[in-house]
Structure 1
Amino acid sequence: MRFSTITFKNIRFNIKRYKAIFLSISFGICLLFMFCSFYFNNELLLCVKSKVDLGTINMSFMVLIVFLVVFFSYAYKEFINSRRKEFALYISLGMTVKNIIKIIVVENIIIMLFAWLLGVVTGSVFANLYHLIITKLLAITNIAFSLNITSFLITLALLAGSFILVLLVSMFSIKKLSISELKTADQSINKLSKPQPLLAFISLLFIVVPIIILSLTVRNILKLKPYTAFIDVLLSLGGLFFFIAYGGDLVIRLISKNKAYFYKHLVALKEVNKRFFQLRKVLFVLSIGALAVIFLVGLSVGTAVTIDDVANNRYPYHISYNLDERDKAEFEQQLYSLATPSEIKLQQYKSCEAIKLYELANRKGKKLQLRNINIIKRSSANKYFNQNFQLQNNEVICIINIEETEDYYVIENLSITTKDKSITYVTLIKQVYIGNLSNIGRCTIVVTDDFYNKIIEETNADLVTYYTYNYYNLEETIKIQNNLMQKFEQIKTTSLKGKFQSKAAKNFGYPICKQQYIKNSRVASKFTIFIMFYIALIFFVISGVVLYLRVINSLEHSRKRFRTLNELGMNNEALKKIISKELILVFLLPVFLGGIMAIAFTFATYHSFLYMTKILLCLTISMIFYLLLQVMFFTQAKRKFINEVLKSTF
């Protein structure tokens, strides 16, 4: 019999398995191709870059690639492992390992090519819709849809690479096959380690403690290196894996305290715990997928919900800009006229002169080079910030715009070098948080009026004046900003030509519009939510496919297991309860664990965010919505699985 004949007979015999892996791979390729058609469209990406941070897109692409590699590898691996008994049968009939590998290669190349073709064809059709949605969200025009060869090559290389990786690993395991595996092919799934409740408790500590350390590191309570945050995440995820594997042992140990309940449900508890241990790797992957889905969706929606709150805190003024001493005399009145048109009623106008500093002494006495460090006299600061600061001659107040500032920005003494090279030190008496005043900078020093005048007289200080405007009608401020921007372009290209080199310096002083920030943030958030929902959809569907493949591949083993329980006297209803408990844990527990981990990581990482309550609420809603979807899948899977298992049992 030819290998081609054997191959096509295998495909016909295993049509359900081939159908599952074929459709799942095609779906993954389709979604990846759609994303690649956007990601490698340089003209479109250039327009997107001007409106959205590319870091979000790059991160999404890398996460998508990694997750699809894991998924394709797992799908191939499960498909090959599910046929180990079949391959052992071929060996008993006289086939060699090389013959079996040849069959695997031919079968999977056929599957891979047809799945890739179906994926790129459907992806090409829907990529146009994907392109249309992105251009509509970002209000991009005159960018035509086009396909690029890179998208085809990336999807093919990813699929082929995953297949080759799994094939190399499978070759070593197939070489160990023998006729005896006909009898032992299903026994490996029955292997179960001794109960390890202590290991489960330790793994729980490995989940909680690194998250606490991460939170303390972000708070700057623990002085640890930034890379320790990555280690904390890995340790916490490692603890999650072992908790999934051995958490059932801990639960059983706790339940055993209630003797009556424990012995009444002993068989069910043992069977559920055994099944949970057998599926530990799959459940861990599903938990990571749920973590990613809930984190991406919840955080993107939460960020969109808090746009107005962030704008109100970051930009307490509708329009703000600043001028240095040379430009002030020439352009101050012109800019004021542009900022106060007759048709728009002005509510409040403020200005504040400050000294720009670049050299600062930190708490350890070492020199720091920082930008936008300003010195303001007390009388001006009280008017500008609506405060009532009181100071002595050698005292200063540090105003910061970050609620929980790192030590890098903490100032204990300030050194001023006068014309005669003498150095004057002043002492910080307190540090005050007054919102995120972006037009001022990260740090502002308030000194007495006399000391401020002395600094100007005895140093070559650069002076800058900050201007802020509030209006009764916020919607009209974008027009004002556009007029101011045109004027600032003239200023920067004439009097300050060649002075500013870096990108940040070139933007220094330009007018900031609160309404423009809100508008841009809303556009960017719509795009981010769309991308995050797209990635989340891929994770959600692929996680379901992984679970489906694992459950279907263990169907024969489940039939034997429940047949044995039936022979021991367990009736139909009792078996249904065990199946229901197993499936409800398999379907819902990973989502719950992933959601809790997502909330914990978010709280630990973004705890200083002013509107964390709304972010956490969005994460919680995302987790609940995910659980509801899983309940729907659980209901369908439960009915089908019970019918498949019990029809051969009774």
Structure 2
Amino acid sequence: MNFRQLALKNIQGNWHRYVAFFLSSTFSVMVFYMFGAFIYHPEVANGQIRAANMVKEVLFACQILIVVFSFFFVLYASFAFLKTRKKEFGLLTLFGMTRSQISRLMFYEQMMIGLLSVGVGIGAGMLFSKLFFLAIARLLQTDSPLSFIVPPQALLQTVVGFLALFLAMTLFAMFSVGRSQIITLLRAAKQPKKPPVASPWLTALAVLCLGSGYYLAFTTSLKLILVLMLPIIFLTVLGTYFLFTQASVAIIHRLQRMTGLYYNRTNLIAISQLAFKMKDNARTLFVVSVLSAVILTASGTIYVFYKNSDKQVMEQFPNTISFTEQGLNAPKGIGPEKIKAVLAAERASLAKELKIVGVQVPLMLDGSRALDTKALLISEFDYNRAAEGIEYTAPLQIAPGHAVFSYPYRNSDVKLMDKGSQRTVQLDGQSWALEMDGQVTGGVINLLGEPLGLLVVNDGEYAQMMGKVPDDRKLVYYGFDLNRWQEHIATVEKVKQSVPEEQRKKLFSPASIYAANKQSSALSLLIGLFVSFLFFVASASMLYFKLFTELQDDDNQYRALMRIGMSVSEVRRIINVQIGLLFLLPVVVGAAHAAFAYKTLANLLSMNIWSYGALVISIFAVLQFGYFLLTRRAYMAQMKSL
């Protein structure tokens, strides 16, 4: 038997350890190749696909992320495999195998796994690349889908990149084993373990860090998020580390002092073993918990923006179609009747029609953004009519001599108009003193550039003020709201085409902004799903590695327990508890971190996102539970005593 055959036999005999690493690596290669296949596709490279440049940049950034993540994942897996085989290498050395021969054996094994991962990953990438192209082409609304092709650049980049990655990690592992002494290798699995001890100070620090991070995340606002983001992340990560390395041990010691629980059936064995396992697995649980929080936060954020892309647009631009005319008697280049005729021909029903007459007036804003700008002065009646049916607005009641500033950006917490401040409006040589009743946020009509907002005054005062304004200075706003406007984007385009070309720049519709937002958010969702699932598979595989590195020791322990009278069902119950906690704790901690991240996002967007967050967390928990069932089944199958 030569070295290549021996390496192949070793892989076959230890396949239960390699399978998670192989599948994770294969999925990384597959995603990397599909992203590269789109980037280097001739139709994309030649600029034939609209908005392809933006997608190329995003996918290229994701490729870099995949390579960096794969580097650390393969590094971790190499150390995990090395730990389980140190005794084997020690025996081989004792039987006369030289270190160079062991290095050759490791090289063949690792490179076989690497070549198999790259080959299967590229094959799967080719198989699914057509579906990936179809999905992106649909999101980009191209006239025809991308043709199936295997770009040589993507193929070469994937093969060279991942083979270099596997080679570097193999050489690193060979160097690590080559420096070890025989006695160290033989005793690697029998190093004495000290009883785990928790520091009260570090346990308190874990509680303090997590509590502070959660409090800042819960109370932050748009104004403070840039300042508090890094402290929140730092406190949460540091608190998570000490939660698993210190607080978990303290909690288990507390359980051991609860005699009613500790001495009940098999709890004595399970909790005693758990104290050592939590200490041994603390760093793995910490890394997987942080990865879980990243997956849940990123996926939830992308999903929220995808589901609310239309709502975000409508909060700033509530009217489906709008245009303005300067002067009451200006020549009608567009005309509301022409617009309504096109809408009727396209069977688009009107939900609301607006005609608002106002005038632009100078206005000084308060706060840190104090500046001279212009606002559109309108009546209280016109504002309430425009705000009717908009969920985030309430009717205004304005007393004579008072006014309210309406700012169209609802999610802004910037204070631009203080309550009780005084303003003077100049109209054709006459001054009108107004006391401001503060500001309201959220658009009720479409505003672009100047005027920056609306100055809403009492109806009687509005009539007096507008009576002093010449007709040619008045601004007439026309707005049209369509029922189910998201289904009538093509109709809006036909309305634009019906208007004389020189007048089209006056016509505005948020439908084009919505279409662009929907396209980018859908692309982000698609790409985010790939990357998030890659992170999920890799993080779950880390738990798999950790579990199987301790398989032989666990098997010996369970055999000893069965020899002193413990039944198979009791041993299985202990195993279920220990494996279940290994997979459950990262989900619980990651979900807690993500929940406070969702609260921060809800504060920034001024909206309720808990239903979206709950859905993402539920899907993640189901996937993790499925991975737990598969891992438990494989683990039980390898336990010789069971």
- Matched pairs, number: 617
Matched, 1:445 2:455: yes
1:468 and 2:479 aligned: yes
Moved more, 582-591 or 91-100: 91-100
Residue 314 of structure 1 and its aligned partner are, at CA, apart by 5.0
- Work out whether 1:490 is the aligned partner of 2:498: no
Q: Deviations over 1:72-125 (max 9, x none)?
A: 332333233333233334554566656654554454344323432332233223
1:130 shift after superposition: 1.9
1:405 is paired with a residue whose SS is coil
Q: Which of 83, 102, 105 is the aligned partner of 2:85? A: 83
Q: CA deviation at 1:579?
A: 1.1
1:74–1:475: structure 2 CA closer, same or farther, 3 Å change rule?
A: closer
1:537 to 2:548 alignment: no
Q: After the TM superposition, which of the residue ranges 36-45 and 636-645 deviates more from structure 2? A: 36-45
Deviation at 1:534, TM superposition (A): 3.0
Structure 2: which amino acid aligns with 1:213? L
- Give the one of 249, 272, 275 matched to 2:274: 272
Deviation at 1:557, TM superposition (A): 2.2
Shift of 1:592: 2.6
Write the distance in 1 (CA, Å) between the matches of 2:172 and 2:182.
21
Deviation at 1:558, TM superposition (A): 1.7
Change (3 A) 1:42 1:580: same
Instruction: Report % sequence identity.
Output: 18
Equivalent residues of 1:377, 1:452 under 8 A apart: no
Unaligned runs of 5+ in 2: 389-394
SS at match of 1:512: coil
SS of aligned partner of 2:148: coil
SS at match of 1:320: strand
How much has 1:12 moved relative to structure 2?
Answer: 1.6
Name the Cα RMSD after superposition: 4.4
Q: CA separation in 2, counterparts of 1:119 and 1:85?
A: 32
Give the match for residue 499 of structure 1: none
1:29 CA drift (Å)? 0.8
**Distance in 1 separating the partners of 2:222 and 2:600:** 9
Alignment-derived partner of residue 392 in structure 2: none
Q: 1:73 to 1:155 in 2, by over 3 A?
A: farther
Partner of 1:121: 123
Deviation of the 1:165 alpha carbon: 5.4
2:355 partner amino acid: S
1:429 aligns with 2:432: no
TM-score, normalisation: structure 1: 0.79
Q: 1:168 to 1:335 in 2, by over 3 A?
A: farther
Cα deviation code 1:473-518 (max 9, x no counterpart)? 858854552234336782379xxxxxxxxxxxxx8x542156x777
Give the direction of change, closer, same or farther, for the CA distance of 1:367–1:535 in structure 2 (3 Å limit).
same
Q: Distance in 2 between matches of 1:77 and 1:330?
A: 78
Partner of 1:202: 205
User: Residue 203 of structure 2 contacts residue 250 of structure 2 at CA under 8 Å; is this kept in 1?
Assistant: yes
Instruction: Tell me how far 1:31 sits from its aligned partner.
Output: 2.6
Distance 1:611 1:92, change over 3 A: same
Residues 353/64 of structure 1: CA separation in 2 closer, same or farther (3 Å cut):
farther
Aligned-partner SS, 1:147: coil
Q: Give the partner amino acid of 2:158.
A: T
Amino acid in the other structure paired with 1:214? A
Match of 2:509 in 1: 512
Name the counterpart of 2:38.
38
Query: Which secondary structure does the structure 1 equivalent of 2:226 belong to?
Result: coil
Match of 2:288 in 1: 286
Higher mean displacement: 120-129 or 415-424? 415-424
Q: Displacement, 1:581?
A: 0.8
Equivalent residue runs for 1:1-12 within 5 Å: 5-12=2-9
Q: What are the ranges of 5 or more consecutive residues in structure 1 without an aligned counterpart?
A: 494-506
- Seen in structure 2, the aligned counterparts of structure 1 residues 185 and 474 have a Cα distance that, compared at 3 Å, is closer
Q: Which residue of 2 aligns with 1:618?
A: 612
Q: Does 1:179 align with 2:189?
A: no
How far off is 1:528 after superposition?
4.6
Tell me which moved more, 27-36 or 349-358. Answer: 349-358
SS in 2 for 1:177: coil
CA gap of 1:322–1:595, structure 2 versus 1, over 3 A, is farther
Q: Name the counterpart of 1:599.
A: 595
**Residue deviations 1:453-480, cap 9 Å, x none?**
69979xxx99754321135785885455
Paired AA for residue 199 in structure 1: L
Contact 1:210/1:235 (<8 A) preserved: yes
Alignment-mate amino acid for residue 10 of structure 1: A
Alignment of 1:149-298 (within 5 A): 149-156=152-159, 158-160=161-163, 162-163=165-166, 166-167=169-170, 170=173, 173-174=176-177, 176-188=179-191, 190=193, 193-196=196-199, 199-218=202-221, 220=223, 224=224, 226-256=226-256, 258-264=258-264, 265-298=267-300
Whether the aligned pair in 2 keeps the contact of 1:382 and 1:389 (CA below 8 Å) is no
